[in-house]
Structure 1
């Protein structure tokens, strides 16, 4: 009986735990490699956040306290005067920038969607050549065409300011938006297009009823991309607008260089105001941006 009891006794290891030297705690601790990896990530995170710290701290310093020598120090006296001054100077430009980036992002997304659908699912002679020519717009530096582009705008008598900037951002945004939508539409099963054709749907009806409802991930990617690109643009703003009708990047440059004695606190507060919209867009819609990019990365 004693022998049978000894044989029937359960093993000392807990059921469901893998056998090993560390028993059931395998994988729960930090190995040297994992510790080193997390330490490296933390180090690079601190490097990225150091400029943000200086930017934020300096925005609360008074004129005598904000200097390169005291950039790392906390403010002696915390003040919001820099934020008030920066907002009064940038508020009109921020509103003009919103008037510019919203329609330019929407128009570029719609045109890129139409181009991507035609070039990916409605074959015609020379489609690949047309797509290649459209993509050339992605590889031409803006600086190389800025002078002839300026001459063209003058010849067309386009008004300086927001209307011209909207047109330019739409035109220069078409190549990247076309590429994103074309790659995404190639992942849509061809049977859906054929079924729409059999039911008698034409090009526009197929796009509106079948393709457009499936395009939400790509529209999110393109809208975020175009919004941030147009918001952060400075080159077009310098050439095709002025401080009275230009976007926030031009107003921020004038704010930073408008006084003989540099007021670093106001400049830093203005930089935070100018970057806040794009930062909020990525915080709120960042996961949708990554998901939209990945949705067109693998062809089904």
Structure 2
């Protein structure tokens, strides 16, 4: 009996705390490599932004000196004012402010509609499993990898036949069509991580298709909705070719007007105005990433790229 009892030395003392392994904080090649990579990546991405910012607040005489890395000797926002209100975008010299309003009018419905439809499709393909759901999902995935240039001419003919070509509803419809495969993939993969028992309990309680979607699924979708908003809004805002082809002269987005400002062939090339116009055009995506970057990472980690 005494042979199986622990000895007095083997009995742990309650007052003794378990020892924790302390990680060494000294020098290591792995840590040095990580910091070197992070610093190099930061310089790679921030250096162009620094050059654009400093160039946009310099005068043309200072820019002609050739030192693009130097800080401005005389700080001036005149180039920003010209880019916003009086730069020539073709035959019009009203700046890119009109393009900003056009981009807002295009981006808001082109973001909300695809996200709602993608969430609805992902919900249906994840929980309800209608007949032919796998075939439909496969078709959507094939559509996600077809280059949009292949479908531009057929879409031009289709929209022209229904009187939507060169109109705001037409460009919104085009963005919605091209974004549906990716939005459906995002929401389907996210909803596939939700326990099916929760969905089955809601059905037992009398919930139908729409009620479960609105009252149960959507409130749980905040992380993936933020991811979808960032991806879709950034893609629509930065789009050039679809806006050029389908928006029409009255609804040209900011990116098209920026191209017209930079590639103008009349007069002296104003590099400070070009840089200011470029920064103004990219302010919305930059602000979106800085404000909601934490939510984007959370949505990705919660299942946006799983499945």
Q: Is 1:205 matched up with 2:205? A: no
Deviates further, 171-180 or 197-206: 197-206
Q: 1:217 to 1:144 in 2, by over 3 A?
A: same
**Residue 96 of structure 1 pairs with residue 92 of structure 2:** no
* Residue 219 of structure 2 corresponds to residue 222 of structure 1: no
The question of whether the paired residues in 2 share the 8 Å contact of 1:187 and 1:298 is answered with no
Q: In structure 2, what is the equivalent of residue 275 of structure 1?
A: 282
Which of 72, 79, 93 is matched with 1:82 structurally?
A: 79
Preserved contact between residue 59 and residue 83 of structure 1 (Cα < 8 Å): yes
Structure 1 residue runs of 4 or more that deviate by more than 6 Å after TM superposition: 15-19
Q: How does 1:61-80 map to 2 (within 5 A)?
A: 61-67=58-64, 69-80=66-77
Distance 1:135 1:74 in 2: 49
The alpha carbon displacement at 1:211 in A equals 1.2
Does the aligned pair in 1 maintain the 2:119–2:184 contact within 8 Å? yes
The aligned length equals: 281
> What's the CA shift for 1:242?
4.3
Alignment counterpart, residue 294 of structure 2, candidates 272, 281, 287: 287
TM-score normalised by length of structure 1: 0.86
Matched, 1:135 2:141: yes
CA distance in 2, matches of 1:64, 1:199: 74
1:131 Cα offset (Å):
0.7
| Contact 2:186/2:305 (<8 A) preserved | no
Q: Report if aligned partners of 2:183, 2:228 keep a CA contact under 8 Å in 1.
A: yes
Structure 1 residues 104 and 206: CA distance shift in structure 2, 3 A: same
Distance 1:43 1:124 in 2: 50
Residue of structure 2 in register with 1:27 after alignment: 24
Out of 106-115 and 29-38, give the one that drifted further: 29-38
Cα distance 1:139–1:78, how it changes in 2: closer, same or farther (>3 A)?
Answer: same
Contact 2:110 2:175 in 1 (8 A): yes
Task: Pick closer, same or farther for the CA change 1:16–1:123 going to 2, 3 Å.
Answer: closer
